[in-house]
Amino acid sequence: MSTFSKVLEKGKLSLGLVFPIESYSGAIPKMEKQEELAKYAEEIGFKSLWFRDVPFNDPTFGDVGQIYDPWIYITHIMNQTKEIALATGSIILPLRHPVHTAKSINSIQTLSKGRLLLGVASGDRPNEYPAFNQDLLNRAALFRDNYNYIKALQNKFPVHQSEYFGSLNGNIDLLPKNSSTTPLFVTGHSGQNLDWIAENADGWIYYPRNFYFLEQQMNDWKASLAKYNHDWKPYLQSLYIDLMENDNESPKNIHLGFKCGPKFLLNHLKMLEKHGVNHVIINLKYGTRPVEKALTELSKHILPNFK
């Protein structure tokens, strides 16, 4: 069974965890005991670990992800774990050359025996674009061109003409090659309309919204998929949580999520599953309890319900 099938299934919801696996204030995490926590996450039943692509510390944004380069840190965590999916949320395509990105994808996919799932995006931090000599206003076209180049590189001795990144005339090949294609999930819209995402991506990653918005969005997603004769492609979303010990703790809004007890969280996740969400990426940044205790609560009350 492929990693895609282990993590994503029509009509079902699974759970992932994003790095850093810790709660912290400010932009920069401590990155302590991440290897042990990654092992524990796999042991208790999380299906994926997610890695961010944040090249700079932008004080106006206030979040640097796991600090380390995503490809290097994925490789590090790959060697600490066994089978859990290794996912990106998300690689910023316009700020990387597609040949290097494809080389990293194929290398990690081969070395991990197929554990990589790839979230890709156009980026949402305007201050980063000048450092790469790229025009923020052109990011939608850069993303699309980069994406298509990566797809072309999956072929043997490809022939491809890119508007921004170069050309291939069939006389060179990218190695290693993988036995199966790496799934690519578009994050947000990345400057593309929904029909383009439905036609070209292997799934869609979005942000937590209220259920009215989600219902409308799922209807639009299904309608776009139907235009290209796709019965289903997965829908994934992130969710920040601050999990309390009291089972009946009433929910309070936090940034892109909730401070709540296990009962509310379970009901919320079940509703997401009912609406068609296939994977939720949990972020513990705003937790007020030790992360080990939060993970233990999740292992007792939440994870057994989403196998």
Number of C-beta neighbours around residue 173 at 10 A:
12
Nearest-angstrom CA–CA distance, 24 and 238:
18
Sign for the CA dihedral angle at 237, 238, 243, 248 comes to: negative
Query: What digits encode the pLDDT tens for the residues 116-126?
Result: 999 999 998 99
Give, in order, the Cα–Cα distances in Å from 153 to each of 53, 91, 93, 207: 21, 17, 14, 30
Torsion of CA 10, 140, 170, 153, to 10 degrees: -30
Can you give the pTM of this predicted structure? 0.97
Q: Domain range holding 72?
A: 3-305
Query: What digits encode the pLDDT tens for the residues 206-215?
Result: 999 999 999 9
> How many domains is the chain built from?
1
Q: What is the CATH number of the domain that holds 212?
A: 3.20.20.30
Query: What digits encode the pLDDT tens for the residues 9-38?
Result: 999 999 999 999 999 999 999 999 999 999
Query: What digits encode the pLDDT tens for the residues 161-212?
Result: 999 999 999 999 999 998 788 999 999 999 999 999 999 999 999 999 999 9
